[in-house]
Chain A
């Protein structure tokens, strides 16, 4: 069974630009969660989508948004990039039920110059 895939794996952008990251969950999984990992803040939850609806949201500004498609694939978008947005962005998928285990993808490393 294929794991969670994320594209692209590496990305370089400049301040003020926007970026879209993609996540394909494990087949059959309907929940996709996004996390940001930085050296200073560690792993932090961004948001979760289930059946095309945002179900949970972390404490991030509105510049961070996401969506989920009918095939459960998800994208996250960051607008007006700041230097502090440089991070490893991880997505995790699960069946979405109570206490279902989340499985992570390899991440997208974003560098903002």
Chain B
């Protein structure tokens, strides 16, 4: 799987947009970008994923650059409950690479403050 690089921590004021960057410069053309988050001592929660196009759901938006070497997860109106570790994962697309496996890095600790 392609490696990802994320800042170790970020701060965000409540009500403001949180923009979490992820670098995945070695991503292959058919590899997806997934985002999960983990609130302290809970199981990771799926947020969103994408391949090339920008994606939006009820939780967040995912912006992937045209060259696919980086992406940004956007939480449009951060709340205190969004405080968590956010993981950006590039998931192998080839079926013989164990396509059910998620390889987690260290993620970004997002602290949302009042």
Q: Once bound together, how far apart are the Cα atoms of A56 and B41, in whole Å?
A: 25
* A–B pairs, 28, beta carbons within 8 Å: A33-B100, A33-B102, A35-B102, A42-B105, A43-B44, A43-B104, A44-B104, A45-B101, A48-B98, A48-B100, A50-B100, A56-B98, A56-B100, A56-B101, A88-B41, A90-B43, A90-B44, A92-B102, A98-B95, A99-B99, A100-B100, A102-B46, A103-B46, A104-B46, A107-B41, A107-B42, A107-B43, A109-B41
Cβ of A77 < 8 Å from any Cβ of B? Answer: no
Q: Once bound together, how far apart are the Cα atoms of A92 and B41, in whole Å?
A: 15
Return B65 CB to nearest CB of chain A, in Å.
20
Residue of A nearest to B49 (CB): A101
Q: Quick check: A104 and B99 within 8 Å, CB to CB?
A: no
Interface size of B by CB at 8 A reads 23
Interface size of A by CB at 8 A reads 29
Count chain A CB atoms within 10 A of each CB in B34, B45, B98 and give the residue with the most.
B98
Return A98 CB to nearest CB of chain B, in Å.
6
Return A44 CB to nearest CB of chain B, in Å.
8
Cβ of A105 < 8 Å from any Cβ of B? Answer: yes
* Given contacts A99-B32, A99-B93, A48 and B101 within 8 Å (CB-CB): yes
Which residues of chain B are within 8 angstroms of A109 by Cβ–Cβ distance?
A: 41
Cβ of B69 < 8 Å from any Cβ of A? Answer: no
Residue of A nearest to B32 (CB): A99
Cβ of A31 < 8 Å from any Cβ of B? Answer: yes
Between A and B, how many residue pairs show CB distances below 8 Å? Answer: 63
Q: Once bound together, how far apart are the Cα atoms of A98 and B101, in whole Å?
A: 11
Cβ of B77 < 8 Å from any Cβ of A? Answer: no
Residues of A participating in the B interface, judged by any CB pair closer than 8 Å: 4, 31, 33, 35, 42-45, 48, 50, 55-56, 58, 88, 90, 92, 94, 96, 98-107, 109
A interface footprint on B81-114 (CB within 8 Å = 1, 0 otherwise)? 0000001000101010011111111100000000
Count chain B CB atoms within 10 A of each CB in A98, A100, A102 and give the residue with the most.
A102
Interface residues of B in 34-56 (CB under 8 A from A): 34, 36, 41-46, 49
Q: Once bound together, how far apart are the Cα atoms of A93 and B74, in whole Å?
A: 26
Which residues of chain A are within 8 angstroms of B102 by Cβ–Cβ distance?
A: 33, 35, 43, 45, 92, 102
